[in-house]
Amino acid sequence: MAKDESGNYKVDEVKKADASVKTMADFTSPDILYKELIDSVKKYHPSTDISMIEKAYHIADDAHKGQLRKSGEPYIIHPLCVAIILADLELDKESIVAGLLHDVVEDTVMTPEEIKEEFGEEVEVIVDGVTKLTQLSYKVDKVEEQAENLRKMFLAMAKDIRVIMVKLADRLHNMRTLKYMKPEKQKEKARETMEIYAPIAHRLGISKIKVELDDLSLKYLEPEVYYELVEKIALRKSEREQFVQCIVKDVREQMDKAGIKAEIDGRAKHFFSIYKKMVNQEKTLDQIYDLFAVRIIVDTVKDCYAALGIIHEMYKPIPGRFKDYIAMPKQNMYQSLHTTLIGPNGQPFEIQIRTFEMHRTAEYGIAAHWKYKEAANGVKPAAQQEEEKLSWLRQILEWQRDMSDNREFMGLLKSDLDLFAESVYCFTPAGDVKNLPNGSTPIDFAYSIHSAVGNKMVGARVNGKLVNIDYVIQNGDRIEIITSQNSKGPSRDWLKIVKSTQAKNKINQWFKNELKDDNIIKGKELMSAYCKAKGIPLNDILKNEFMETVMRKYGFRDWDSILAAIGHGGLKEGQVVNKLMEGYEKKKKKELTDEKLVESVVEHAQDIEHRSSKNHSAIVVKGLHDLAVRYSKCCSPVPGDEIVGFVTRGRGVSIHRTDCINIINLSAEERARLIDAEWQKAESENPNERFPAEIKIYVNNRTGVLVDISKILTEMKIDLTGVNSRTNKQGKATITMSFDVHSKEELNSIIAKIRQVESVIDIERSTG
């Protein structure tokens, strides 16, 4: 790529390079990546037994053989890269193995039971959790679906936090290779990453992953902004590096004089953090001065504060820009001293001071606590001792139990995951530190202690003085809450005052619980009045089948909760009634008698929408040629099969094989809707006409059996339209395949050839 005079890549060339598609020769071979993985694992745990990792690699390689990614590279490259990311986080052996196997259940014939048998329950739980998360969608325009899927994600995280760590590594590699996807898919994945995965990485304290996810998301969501940042920052690179080197040199000299052993380096701030600063402060890039930070890493906490004193003697600190995250850590475990100073040329810059252990936690977050720990009975991960580090996850799980309203849950969750929310630190009368959102009041503080304290609160003292309940807490304040058993509970006005999601949730819960009966009555009255005004028969639409659909739609567990939500304004009565009406009207349309339906179909055959020749020209039904017909998916009839027609409700005639289990099991009443049908010979011999077929293949499960069967279909020029498999505990697998054929004769030929494949026990056609 071309460079400018400063030796930096030109932005237009960067864009071109990003858009290029690699050839196979450009890809790193799986063997080289596997060696890199093993070298990385041995580096942080030299004595580990790699046999389990080696076995997982070979199984994954065999399972994914023949599969390619959108980039054209062998699929095994992806799980290898995911495992390397996990090794870079220095995770345990089980996490590495799960990273290698995370796609085998979804994309191959391997089952969770087989993973458990080969690698143990821990690995199976992680792989199963990642598989389920992969199947979820988090579309930002579908709040109900997004909320329900996020609930499932947090439950999976609670089961084993390594599930989300593997998923984050999976998402990071997918984001690194996002350029091979279509533009609309790029934006969808980038937005999902920015709104879901990057905030979770932040909450877990894994900055190594979080910052890269942020930057990659920005690249696809705001490409013009991203490349402008790349270009402008690159132009000032030489000047910046010279300034940083000067600062590092001066600081190192002073640390050496003071006898403080320290590692000192400078780094540019990440593009996304610069972008957010520009947006939040409404400034251009030229108006942002602290584009880089100097980091000092020392041995002890005592050295941190000693280094801070030296720095403040060397440079003038900017008032109000000092943060002590050592004394008061962030909720994601981050600890460091931050101070912003005026440099030699008047340019502001930031210095961060922390210990080596704090630095590890800052980079790896919760992953730092999965490092190996030697014990008498072998190597064990130490994360079980870090439960207190995940208090925020327990808080979210508590919300899940308490809240049935998906929209409210999403609002609280997005607020809680806010990456850029500032914190304020205050103290209880006993001297314990409380970390609250900036702008919090004594009410927020009270609910952070316990919901009972908040609900009975009548006043507060700050630093020994009475204050109003809307007082804004400052760093270092000592808060004392005054309660009374005679308190009637919180006021709705408090919701306008509080800042923390925790306080808002607990206040709302109080009103819902205390006033639920009143809200249910009010909800019933509102629905009744709405139906009366619209002339809608309320008793007819309040049927269980319609009500269950509405409860699923809005994420409520029972009908009383729907009524209560209408009563307190969380749902509009019109929304609920209209949804009930949809189900009611659909059912009414289906209430034609069988006799009228048959008569209607025959008499008005000319008026029924004709299907394409592919779908009906090969069939004659009772001598009628203009009748709308469709082939049943349950038994997939093809020319040569004995067939029968079944008059459906509103969709013409459905064609089945006579041996279809659904036809055999018809009741006497339903059999009245059967019509004679036969293949029209001249039409069914059309060589261009294809018909869907489905077969079940019973095999002794072995690696490569699916590939061998697929090769036969490829050789016969048969295109697969679907494939699925499941394996039982005895090692027997059932593979279900769908494809299009010309006739029963061609289908029989396919079945005969597949029978010759090693490990095939039996084959049968699907019969419903």
CA geometry: angle 561, 565, 568, nearest 5 deg: 135
pLDDT band at 34 (very low <50, low <70, confident <90, very high): very high
Contact present, 740 and 615 (Cβ < 8 Å):
no
Q: Which region among 50-59, 119-128, 649-658 has the lowest average model confidence (pLDDT)?
A: 649-658
Whether 156 and 58 share a structural domain: yes
pLDDT band at 614 (very low <50, low <70, confident <90, very high): very low
The parent domain of residue 521 ranges over 510-593
Contact present, 307 and 260 (Cβ < 8 Å):
yes
What pLDDT is attached to residue 572? 86
Identify the three-state secondary structure at position 753: helix
Contact present, 446 and 454 (Cβ < 8 Å):
yes
Whether 526 and 650 share a structural domain: no
pLDDT band at 391 (very low <50, low <70, confident <90, very high): low
Q: What is the CA radius of gyration of the chain?
A: 33
Is the pLDDT confidence value at 11 over 60?
A: no
In a domain, 479, yes or no: yes
φ, ψ (nearest 5 deg) of residue 143: -60, -45
Bridge-based pairing state of the strands 337-342 and 316-324: antiparallel
pLDDT tens across 726-745, in order? 887 777 888 988 898 988 99
What pLDDT is attached to residue 159? 67
Whether 364 and 402 share a structural domain: no
In a domain, 312, yes or no: yes
The domain that holds 364 is classified in CATH as: 3.30.460.10
| Buried-state track 504-515, b at ≥16 Cβ within 10 A, e below 16 | bbbbbebbbeee
pLDDT band at 636 (very low <50, low <70, confident <90, very high): confident
Domain count, the chain: 6
Q: How far is CA 613 from the centre of its chain?
A: 43
Cβ-based neighbours of 380, under 8 Å, separated by 6 or more? 372, 373
Whether 429 and 295 share a structural domain: no
Whether 181 and 262 share a structural domain: no
What pLDDT is attached to residue 346? 81
Contact present, 680 and 621 (Cβ < 8 Å):
no
In a domain, 3, yes or no: no
pLDDT tens across 638-653, in order? 988 999 988 876 567 8
User: Whole-prediction pTM value?
Assistant: 0.54
pLDDT band at 610 (very low <50, low <70, confident <90, very high): very low
pLDDT tens across 114-170, in order? 888 889 988 998 888 888 776 555 454 454 555 555 555 665 555 677 888 899 999
The domain that holds 194 is classified in CATH as: 1.10.3210.10
Nearest in space to 542 (alpha carbons), one of 580, 582, 587, 586 = 580
Q: Which region among 498-512, 531-545, 680-694 has the lowest average model confidence (pLDDT)?
A: 680-694
What pLDDT is attached to residue 386? 46
The domain that holds 713 is classified in CATH as: 3.30.70.260
Is the pLDDT confidence value at 6 over 60?
A: no
End of a domain among 345, 372, 399? Answer: 372
pLDDT band at 589 (very low <50, low <70, confident <90, very high): low
Whether 119 and 193 share a structural domain: yes
Q: How many CB atoms lie within 10 A of CB 731?
A: 14
Task: Enter the DSSP assignment of 318.
Answer: E
What pLDDT is attached to residue 253? 94
Q: Which region among 405-414, 483-492, 664-673 has the lowest average model confidence (pLDDT)?
A: 405-414
| Buried-state track 732-763, b at ≥16 Cβ within 10 A, e below 16 | ebbbebbbbbbbbebbeebeeebeeeebbeeb
C-alpha distances (whole Å) from 13 to each of 3, 10, 216, 340, 662 are 8, 5, 18, 35, 62
Nearest in space to 325 (alpha carbons), one of 447, 211, 422 = 422
Distance between CA atoms of 565 and 568, rounded to whole angstroms?
Answer: 5
In a domain, 700, yes or no: yes
Task: Enter the DSSP assignment of 605.
Answer: G
In a domain, 300, yes or no: yes
Distance between CA atoms of 694 and 117, rounded to whole angstroms?
Answer: 31
User: Is the backbone of residue 467 left (phi > 0), alpha (psi -120 to 50) or beta?
Assistant: beta
Contact present, 410 and 147 (Cβ < 8 Å):
yes
Distance between CA atoms of 434 and 423, rounded to whole angstroms?
Answer: 10
End of a domain among 221, 247, 274? Answer: 221
Mean pLDDT of all residues in the chain?
79
Residues present in the chain in total: 768
Mean of the pLDDT values across residues 505-516?
82
In a domain, 43, yes or no: yes
341, β-bridge pairs: 317, 349
Whether 47 and 90 share a structural domain: yes
Q: Which region among 88-92, 276-280, 412-416, 501-505 has the lowest average model confidence (pLDDT)?
A: 412-416
Q: Which region among 292-301, 397-406, 595-604 has the lowest average model confidence (pLDDT)?
A: 595-604
End of a domain among 524, 559, 593? Answer: 593
Whether 211 and 245 share a structural domain: no
Residues classed as catalytic: 106-107
Whether 707 and 750 share a structural domain: yes
Give 405 or 745, the one with higher predicted confidence.
745
In a domain, 381, yes or no: no
Whether 366 and 408 share a structural domain: no
Contact present, 304 and 353 (Cβ < 8 Å):
yes
Whether 529 and 634 share a structural domain: no
The owner of tokens 């499960």 is 701
- Could you tell me where the beta strands, DSSP code E, fall in 564-658? 619-621, 629-631, 643-647, 653-657
Distance between CA atoms of 343 and 337, rounded to whole angstroms?
Answer: 18
Distance between CA atoms of 410 and 199, rounded to whole angstroms?
Answer: 14
Identify the three-state secondary structure at position 458: strand
Distance between CA atoms of 318 and 303, rounded to whole angstroms?
Answer: 22
In a domain, 5, yes or no: no
Cβ-based neighbours of 546, under 8 Å, separated by 6 or more? 579, 580, 583, 584
Mean of the pLDDT values across residues 87-92?
89
Distance between CA atoms of 90 and 609, rounded to whole angstroms?
Answer: 63
Nearest in space to 309 (alpha carbons), one of 358, 245, 260 = 260
pLDDT tens across 298-325, in order? 999 999 999 999 999 999 998 888 888 8
Structure tokens at 391: 């208090």
The 3-state DSSP composition of the chain as helix, strand, coil percent (nearest 5) reads 55, 15, 30
Distance between CA atoms of 105 and 127, rounded to whole angstroms?
Answer: 8
Q: How far is CA 526 from the centre of its chain?
A: 37
DSSP 689-741: --EEEEEEEEEE--TTHHHHHHHHHHHTT--EEEEEEEE-TTSEEEEEEEEEE
Whether 173 and 89 share a structural domain: yes
pLDDT band at 53 (very low <50, low <70, confident <90, very high): very high
**2 HSE (CA, 13 A, CB side):** 8
Q: How far is CA 233 from the centre of its chain?
A: 32
pLDDT band at 445 (very low <50, low <70, confident <90, very high): very high
Give the containing element (helix H, strand E) for 243. helix 237-258
